[in-house]
């Protein structure tokens, strides 16, 4: 079986030892079917056990292995080593987040913003249990299904120029998830979420560069969700202006 030679230039940072991050280079002979994550795992298992990074499923489902690969936010488990055969590949932690250690970033800011958009179904009044399930038609499901595919890999945040310039911006994934629930026929929480979404750091900070959708490995298209959310928040603003905010 032929091998693919890869030169991995990986950012290293140990807050207990290093004043600044630095790069360390590793030569890796990869099997052709490997993903970049396999090459990094090889370094961890066979060359340098001190290397820190996140990964779990190796199936582009968990979102853990998001990182910058040659300057682009990607899932390491979804990028083939053959795309970088016989080249030097720079591996860095996701952009726009503080570095915790090596390729691990601090996600506290995203988690706080995710909580603010209330990513769950809100009901003003629950129907009796005996009434059965809240049923949806295929057309109702289609309106928001695409936006349920987000795996919180944060590649969209690393790609977003607005989040890079204005860290207060709530960001693509959190706002797309807000739109997912606002569009769900079972949900009645738009007016409640509107308080956060209409703030200066809310959806209107989006400048629609589309970089979030380009970077998204699951084709969620958060840029589209945000533009639809702008329309919804505008309608909600007018409703509140004329006293119909809860209708």
What's the CATH number where 8 sits?
A: 3.10.20.30
pLDDT band at 3 (very low <50, low <70, confident <90, very high): confident
Q: What share of the chain has pLDDT > 90, as a percent?
A: 89
* Same domain assignment for residues 59 and 161: no
Residue 51 pLDDT greater than 70, yes or no: yes
pLDDT at 151 (0 to 100)? 97
Q: Would you say residue 246 lies in a domain?
A: no
pLDDT band at 25 (very low <50, low <70, confident <90, very high): very high
Spatial contact of 156 and 177, defined as CB atoms under 8 Å apart: no
Residue 72 pLDDT greater than 90, yes or no: yes
**CB within 8 Å of 228: residues ≥ 6 apart:** 179, 183
Structural domain that includes position 62: 3-105
Final residue belonging to a domain, choices 105, 123, 152: 105
Final residue belonging to a domain, choices 105, 124, 140: 105
- Among the ranges given (73-82, 105-114, 119-128, 160-169), the one the predictor scored with the smallest mean pLDDT: 119-128
Phi then psi dihedrals of residue 233, to 5 deg: -70, -30
Query: pLDDT per residue over 120-151, tens digit each?
Result: 999 998 888 999 999 999 999 999 999 999 99
pLDDT at 234 (0 to 100)? 93
What's the sign of the alpha-carbon dihedral 166, 102, 155, 209?
positive
Residue 1 pLDDT greater than 60, yes or no: no
pLDDT at 243 (0 to 100)? 83
pLDDT at 244 (0 to 100)? 77
Final residue belonging to a domain, choices 51, 72, 105: 105
Residue with tokens 């928001």: 144
Q: Would you say residue 36 lies in a domain?
A: yes
* Rg, Å, the chain Cα set: 21
* Same domain assignment for residues 19 and 58: yes
Q: Would you say residue 41 lies in a domain?
A: yes
pLDDT at 141 (0 to 100)? 97
Instruction: Enter the tokens of residue 133.
Output: 């399930």
Pairing assessment for the beta strands 72-75 and 88-92 based on DSSP bridges: unpaired
Q: Would you say residue 178 lies in a domain?
A: yes
Average pLDDT of the chain?
A: 95
Query: pLDDT per residue over 162-173, tens digit each?
Result: 999 999 999 999
* Same domain assignment for residues 55 and 26: yes
pLDDT at 61 (0 to 100)? 97
* Same domain assignment for residues 160 and 41: no
Q: Would you say residue 181 lies in a domain?
A: yes
> Beta-carbon neighbour count of residue 140 at 10 Å?
14
Number of separate domains in the chain? 2
Residue 152 pLDDT greater than 60, yes or no: yes
- Give dist(CA 121, CA 95) in Å, integer: 31
Q: Domain holding 194: CATH number?
A: 1.10.1060.10
**CB within 8 Å of 245: residues ≥ 6 apart:** 191, 194, 236, 239
* Same domain assignment for residues 118 and 60: no
First CA to last CA across the chain, in angstroms? 65
pLDDT at 247 (0 to 100)? 52
* Same domain assignment for residues 153 and 69: no
Higher-confidence position of 127 and 9: 9
């Amino acid at each position: 079986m032929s091998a693919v030679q890869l030169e991995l230039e990986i950012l290293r940072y140990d807050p207990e030892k290093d004043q600044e991050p630095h790069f360390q280079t590793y030569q890796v002979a990869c099997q052709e079917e490997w993903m970049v994550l396999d090459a990094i795992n090889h370094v961890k298992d066979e060359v340098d056990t001190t290397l820190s990074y996140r990964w779990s499923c190796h199936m582009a489902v968990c979102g853990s292995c998001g990182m910058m690969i040659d300057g682009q936010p990607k899932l390491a488990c979804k990028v083939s080593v053959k795309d970088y055969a016989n080249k030097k590949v720079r591996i860095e932690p996701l952009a726009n987040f503080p570095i915790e250690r090596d390729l691990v970033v601090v996600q506290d800011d995203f988690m706080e913003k995710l909580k603010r958009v209330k990513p769950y179904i809100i009901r003003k009044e629950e129907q009796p249990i005996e009434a059965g399930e809240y049923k949806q038609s295929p057309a109702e499901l289609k309106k928001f299904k695409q936006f349920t595919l987000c795996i919180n890999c944060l590649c969209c945040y690393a790609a977003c120029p607005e989040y890079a310039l204005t860290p207060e911006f709530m960001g693509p994934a959190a706002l797309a998830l807000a739109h997912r629930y606002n569009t769900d026929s079972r949900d009645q929480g738009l007016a409640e979420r509107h308080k956060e979404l209409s703030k200066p750091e809310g959806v209107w900070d989006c400048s629609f560069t589309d970089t979030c959708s380009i970077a998204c490995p699951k084709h969620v298209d958060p840029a589209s969700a945000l533009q639809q959310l702008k329309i919804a928040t505008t309608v909600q603003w007018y409703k509140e202006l004329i006293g119909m905010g809860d209708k």
